Every structure is written in C-alpha cells, then in structure tokens.
Amino acid sequence: MPEMTMVQAINDALRISMRDDERVVLLGEDVGKVGGVFRVTAGLQDEFGAERVIDTPLAEGGIVGASIGMAMYGLRPVPEIQFADFIYPAFDQIVSEAAKYRYRSGGEFGIPMVIRTPFGGGIRGGHYHSQSPESLFIHVAGLKVVCPSNPYDAKGLLLSAIRDEDPVLFFEPKRVYRAAKMDVPEGDYAVPLSKAKVVREGAHVTVLAWGAMLYEAVAAAEEVAPKVDVEVIDLRTLWPVDIDTIVASVKKTGRVVVVHEAPRTCGFGAELVSLVCEKAFLHLEAPPVRVTGHDTPFPYTLENDYLPLAHRIVPALLETAAY
C-alpha cells in the first residue's frame, strides 16, 4: 500500500472519481494549470484537460453558482474554494440555492456537488487563512458537512461525498495536509458518510473532535492516560452526525469534552452538547465541556493561544474526570 499525505490522498480520490465518472468536473481559482495553491489538484488538468479541471475567474459565488447549474444538468461538480475564509461570497448560492433546491423543487432537481475547501488554523494564516466556519453550514438544512482527519479517511470520504446525491461541504484541515503520511489503499474504496470512528477507546471521558484537533485530543488523552482513560471519537462527518456512536460512548463514560477550532459561541460544540444533554442526560456525571477557539477573529502571533491545543484539553479532561 502506498504512503500518502492527505494532499496526495485527496488528489488520488479526485483522480479516481474522474476516471470512473465522466460527469465529475473540478473548478475553482488556480486549480487547473498550477494544481491549486496547496497542489491538491496537481496533475489533474494534464490528465483530464482544461474542460474538466477549470481555472475560473475570481468569484466564489460564480464557482458555486455555476456548479449548481452543472449539477442540474447532470454533472458532478467538485468546486474548490481556495480557503474556507473566502467562502462567504458564495454563501448566498450555497444557503439560498444549493441547500434548498431539492426541497423547493419538490424533488425535481437534486444538487450533487462537493465543495472542497481547506480550513483551520495553525499555519500562521491570521484572520483570513485560518477560519473554521463549519457550524454556519451545519445550521443550514439541506447541506452535509464532512471533515476528514487523516489521508485514509480523506480519500474514502471524498469518494463517498462525490457519489452522494446532495450538496456536501468538504472541509480539509490544511494543518494536516502534509503533516503525516499514512498507508492508503490504491484504487477505489468508500468511507461512508455519517459514520464516526472511535479512534481511542476509553472508559472515563468521551472526547468529540475532528480535523486537525483530533491529534490534539489524542495527544491530550495520552498525556492524562495514567490518570484518566479517555475515549476519543473522530466525527468525520459533522452533519448529519453519527449520533449513535456519540450517545453510546457518552452513556458509557458519562463525561464529554468537545474540541473545535471555531469560535466557541454557536460553534458545533454547542449543538453536540445539546444533543448529548437531550439523549443522555441521566448518564451525565459532569457538565459537558467545550474546549474551543475563542470568540475573536483568528489571530496571527498568538494563534497557539487561540487554538484548543493539547495544553488546553488536558486540564479540561482532568477537571471533567474529577467533577
């Protein structure tokens, strides 16, 4: 099995999809000739031509809006938004159109489309190359939201997302892009949407995490391991979330910590806390805890004070366990 970085694994998934299905097209700023600013689409224009790997003008609303039209025609567009921080000019097309099109057309038109976008901090990107806007999209009915944490899942989830019938936001943790290599099977395989993965079993506290913060959660779990036995769940699909896996774990541990980079207030952590309360209240032995980014724009110099890194997760685990 070849070793791949996440960048390579995503590239591989795109290549496989495009070979397998003539309907798959990629479009975005700088995705073609140069293969994306993170080189995720490198080599694909050479193989599939400029008609299927398209460099667009600088307009995110145009990229997504055109993709909607393409999906209506019957293609499977995979638009890229260069950084999640620049997704807002496309917000109207995503929220008002892509998310509602199936429903409001009485099911006449679905919009199968995967919006890929690098997100998250830790690369000294400051305000506009670091954001984690996932909860904005989770709030909007009609969208699916996926976030892989490793190369294997990235490839398998992307293959599933491209074959899904609904619009998917696919958030790629850029801090992980080249951080590590991993065995990734050649060829086609699927990691199903809406299935979480228990990456570390434990009895005392459940940690819910995704993307780059998963590693911080695991590191924190290892650090407290002598004292506290932590279960870490990689959600992988944020919405619709795998509620069964979460609830089963929390019923076992009675304690839950949610970790995310996005600002705390109205982040996805709030939803997870609410779901846990609704479905496992009597099993809770401590209040659910959120370890998150702060309610500020994403800072540059102090980004390691902003991010919910292991040093901030550890005390949360200890306190929760001791509650």
Ligand X SMILES: Cc1ncc(C[n+]2csc(CCOP(=O)(O)OP(=O)(O)O)c2C)c(N)n1
Active site residues: 129
The reply on whether position 267 binds a copy of itself by CB under 8 A is yes
**Per rule CB under 6 A, is residue 91 in the interface with ligand X?**
no
Q: Looking only at residues 137 through 176 of this chain, which bind a copy of itself when binding is defined by CB under 8 A? A: 138-142
Q: Give Cα separations from 240 to 142, 193, 213, 244 (angstroms).
A: 10, 8, 20, 11
The binder of 19, among another protein, ligand X, a copy of itself, none, by C-beta within 5 to 8 A per type, is: none
Q: How far apart are CB 125 and ligand X at their closest, in Å? A: 11
Cβ atoms of residues 267 and 218 within 8 Å: no
CB-wise, 229 or 271, nearer to another protein? 271
Nearest residue to ligand X, by Cβ distance, number only: 86
CB atoms within 10 A of CB 264: 16
User: Tokens representing 96?
Assistant: 């008002």
> For another protein, which is the closer residue by CB, 194 or 206?
194
In the bound state with another protein, the residue whose beta carbon lies nearer, of 119 and 152, is 119
Q: Does the protein bind a copy of itself through residue 287 (CB under 8 A)?
A: yes
Residue with tokens 């997504």: 64
Q: Give the β-pairing of 197-200 and 230-234.
A: antiparallel
Stated as kind and residue range, the H or E segment containing 163 is: helix 151-163
Q: Is 86 in the site for ligand X (CB under 6 A)?
A: yes
Neighbours of 2 (CB within 10 A): 12
For the CB of residue 58, give the shortest distance to ligand X in the complex, in Å: 5
Give the integer Cα–Cα distance in Å for 37 and 322: 46
Burial of 103 (C-beta count, 10 Å sphere; 0-12/13-18/19+): exposed
Question: Which of 113, 123, 149 minimizes the C-alpha distance to 238?
Answer: 149
- How many Å apart are CA 290 and CA 259, to the nearest integer? 6
Q: Is 89 in the site for ligand X (CB under 6 A)?
A: yes
Choose among a copy of itself, another protein, ligand X, none what residue 186 binds, the Cβ cut-off being 5 to 8 Å by kind: none
Q: Rank residues 198 and 243 by Cβ distance to another protein and give the closer one.
A: 243
The contact set with a copy of itself (CB under 8 A) reads: 85, 88-89, 91-92, 95-96, 99-100, 103-104, 127-128, 135-136, 138-142, 239, 262-263, 265-271, 273-274, 277-278, 281, 286-290, 294-297
